[in-house]
Amino acid sequence: MKPLAGCRVLDLGIITAGAATSAVLADFGAEVIKIESPTYRDPFRRWLSDRPIDADPDLSPFFRATNRGKFGLSLDLKQPLGRKAFLKLVRESDVVVENFRRGVLQKLGLDFETLRAANPRIILASISSQGEDGPEAGYVSYGSTLEAVAGLATTTGYAGGPPTLSGVDLNYPDQIVALFASSMIVTAWHGRDRRDGGVHLDLSQRELTSYLSGETFVAAGAGIEEPRAGNAQAPYAVQECFRSNDGGWIALSVRDDQSSALASLGTSAADLSGWIGGQAASVALDHLHAAGVAAARAMNGREVMAAGDAVWTHALQSTPAGDLAKGFPLQFDGEPLSISREAPAIGADSDEVLRRVAKMTDAEIAALYEVGAIEVPTVRAA
């Protein structure tokens, strides 16, 4: 049995941080209901629309990756009837995940105390840029600004160069918070019976990013300010990427005590660039591995794909429709993880969720339709 079997999650997450957290929860066996508003859908649906995407413009590859395995409900929480319907769902659920700007839940009348009044055992996971409080809690942030304020950007890059960002295709703080947040939610859910009621989890992306770079800041606090040095890093004599004569890049780390190993190859730490540049990448790698030097080809996306079963097993998975999507950070032997559902179309399961989970009647659902508080797939509306 998967670790979250029997757990129901209401996912208010958007873009990466919140939505990716709930995707992991779905992988772990939870029933996840993604809730968007008819007036504000997840921006990831049309993210980077200048790239080739599927025939449906509302299901970008990014959205598919972070929302697979979920049911889809379109519900306007700003309307009184929509808010009332949401609280009905809260009564029948275990977890609410959100990564809105701080203060949005309060404006909607859906703060933790309100949720707990509806369901004393509810777990609210609030994923935010700067945390729930503090002088910068209300700031608008993205992965780039978080890397900057967390200190990561200024510790990455080359001496004399500008701070370095991981970029929109990675957004390091968003990716890592999804793993930590999902772990905290699993822990909170399994430990709920040992507590008196629900809990509000406060997850700061900035704090987490700083934590993972903590050794650098501890050293700086002790007066040890190490300059940025690109790929070079003590105690290695060489840690760098060099290009072979067939255009491949080889990353390697050579210890200070490996001069004899390099000499056996007819080179030295100072001459590695020319030595690698004089031969094909595969040949250079064979020699380096035989000499006990840590080295690997720097692969591009196409090469990583082709190396499936050799360098990765679970990182990418097929959806039920056969499309490739981001896979899993781990795997279970007893019941292997799999992608159970495609990412939902807009309002794909609105009727079904409101009837089955919220126990709403035909008349109540009709009233939501009447005021435009819910939305269903285009095919149904037609």
Per-residue model confidence as pLDDT tens digits over 75-104: 999 999 999 999 999 999 999 999 998 889
**Mean pLDDT value across residues 265-277:** 94
Please check whether residues 104 and 52 belong to one and the same domain: yes
With respect to residue 224, please indicate whether it lies within any of the assigned structural domains: no
Answer yes or no: is 353 within a domain. yes
Quick one: pLDDT at residue 363? Answer: 96
My answer on whether 83 and 187 are in the same domain is yes
> Residue 270 is part of which domain span?
236-304
**What is the pTM (predicted TM-score) of this model?**
0.87
In terms of domains, do 37 and 149 share one?
A: yes
Three-state DSSP string of the chain:
CCCCCCCEEEECCCCCHHHHHHHHHHHCCCEEEEEEECCECCHHHHCCCCCCCCCCCCCCHHHHHHHCCEEEEEECCCCHHHHHHHHHHHHCCCEEEECCCCCHHHHCCCCHHHHHHHCCCCEEEEEECCCCCCCCCCCCCCHHHHHHHCCCHHHCCCCCCCCCCCCCCCCHHHHHHHHHHHHHHHHHHHCHHHCCCCEEEEEEHHHHHHHHCHHHHHHHHCCCCCCCCCCCCCCEEEEEEEECCCCCEEEEEEEHHHHHHHHHCCCCHHHHHHHHHCCCHHHHHHHHHHCCCEEEECCCHHHHHHCECCCECCCEEECCCCCEEECCCCCCCCCCCCCCCCCCCCCCCHHHHHHHCCCCCHHHHHHHHHCCCEECCHHHHC
The pLDDT, as a whole number, for residue 382 is 35
One domain for residues 157 and 293: no
Per the structure, how many domains does the chain have?
2
Is residue 161 pLDDT above 70, yes or no? yes
Last residue of a domain, one of 252, 280, 304: 304
Q: Please write the tens of the pLDDT for every residue from 12-47.
A: 999 889 999 999 999 999 999 999 999 999 998 887
Query: Does 174 share its domain with 41?
Result: yes
Whether residue 193 is found in the same domain as residue 250:
no
340 vs 115: which has the higher pLDDT? 115
Same domain, 341 and 272: no
Q: Does residue 57 carry a pLDDT above 80?
A: no
Q: What average pLDDT does the segment 228-254 reach? A: 89
pLDDT in tens, 112-154: 999 999 999 999 999 988 777 766 777 777 777 888 888 888 8
Q: Which of 129-133, 167-171, 333-337, 375-379 has the highest mean pLDDT?
A: 333-337
Q: Would 157 be classed as within a structural domain?
A: yes
Residues 19 and 77 in one domain: yes
120 part of a folded domain: yes
Residues 261 and 374 in one domain: no
- Say yes or no: 74 and 186 in one domain: yes
